Amino acid sequence: MARPQTIDGKIDIKSLSLSELTELLVEQGHPKFRARQVYKWVWNKGVTSFHDMTNVSKTARKQLDEAFVIDFLEPAMQLDSADGTKKFVWELRDESHIESVLIPDPGIPGHSKPRMTLCMSSQVGCAMACSFCLTGDLGFKRNLRVAEILNQALQVQQSLPEGERITNLVFMGMGEPLHNITNLIRSLEVLLDESALNFSHRKITVSTVGLVPQMARLAAATPVNLAVSLNATTNESRSQVMPITRRYPLSQLMDGCRDFPLPHAKRITFEYVMMAGFNDSWDDAARLVKLMSGVKSKVNLIPYNENPQREILRPSEDHVKAFQHFLVKRGVQTSIRTTRGIDISAACGQLGKATQGMRIEEAGIEGPTISLD
Q: Which residues contact 193 (CB under 8 A, 6 or more apart)?
A: 17, 18, 43
What pLDDT shows up at residue 353?
A: 58
With a cut of 50, say whether residue 358 has pLDDT above it.
yes
What pLDDT shows up at residue 355?
A: 59
| Domain-located, residue 325 | yes
Long-range contacts of 196-199 (CB under 8 A, 24+ apart): 196/18, 196/39, 196/43, 196/44, 197/43, 197/150, 197/153, 197/154, 197/157, 199/153, 199/169
| Domain-located, residue 30 | yes
Catalytic residue among 99, 176, 189, 271: 99
Q: Which CATH number is 23's domain given?
A: 1.10.150.530
Q: Which CATH number is 236's domain given?
A: 3.20.20.70
Shared domain check, 170 and 21: no
What pLDDT shows up at residue 346?
A: 64
Annotated active-site residue 162? The verdict is no
Shared domain check, 158 and 114: yes
Annotated active-site residue 99? The verdict is yes
| Domain-located, residue 366 | no
Shared domain check, 343 and 301: yes
Shared domain check, 264 and 308: yes
Shared domain check, 204 and 61: no
Catalytic residue among 119, 126, 130, 348: 348
With a cut of 60, say whether residue 370 has pLDDT above it.
no
Shared domain check, 21 and 145: no
Mind listing the pLDDT tens digit for each residue in 175-197?
Answer: 999 999 999 999 999 999 999 99
Give the separation between CA 368 and CA 365, rounded to whole angstroms.
Answer: 10
| Domain-located, residue 373 | no
Range of the domain at 347: 74-356
Shared domain check, 123 and 35: no
Reference 204, options 183, 190, 216; nearest CA is 190
Shared domain check, 219 and 288: yes
Mind listing the pLDDT tens digit for each residue in 71-104?
Answer: 999 999 999 999 999 999 999 999 999 999 999 9
Give the separation between CA 109 and CA 114, rounded to whole angstroms.
Answer: 9
Domain tally for the chain?
2
Are the beta carbons of 307 and 131 closer than 8 angstroms? no
**Residue 368's pLDDT band (cuts 50, 70, 90):** very low
What pLDDT shows up at residue 356?
A: 57
Round the average pLDDT of the chain to a whole number and report it: 92
The DSSP bridge pattern shows strands 6-7 and 10-12 to be: antiparallel
Q: Is the pTM of this model over 0.85?
A: yes
| Domain-located, residue 269 | yes
CB atoms within 10 A of CB 352: 25
Shared domain check, 185 and 49: no
Shared domain check, 149 and 285: yes
Residue 75: which H helix or E strand, with range? strand 74-80
With a cut of 80, say whether residue 111 has pLDDT above it.
no
Give the separation between CA 48 and CA 52, rounded to whole angstroms.
Answer: 8
For residues 224-253, give the mean pLDDT: 98
Are the beta carbons of 262 and 303 closer than 8 angstroms? no
- With pLDDT > 70 as the criterion, what percentage of the chain qualifies? 93
With a cut of 50, say whether residue 263 has pLDDT above it.
yes
With a cut of 90, say whether residue 283 has pLDDT above it.
yes
**Residue 359's pLDDT band (cuts 50, 70, 90):** very low
> Which residue among 69, 90, 109 closes a domain?
69
What pLDDT shows up at residue 88?
A: 97
| Domain-located, residue 365 | no
| Domain-located, residue 367 | no
- With pLDDT > 90 as the criterion, what percentage of the chain qualifies? 82
Give the separation between CA 122 and CA 207, rounded to whole angstroms.
Answer: 11
For residues 16-43, give the mean pLDDT: 96
For residues 95-115, give the mean pLDDT: 89
Shared domain check, 285 and 227: yes
Shared domain check, 18 and 123: no
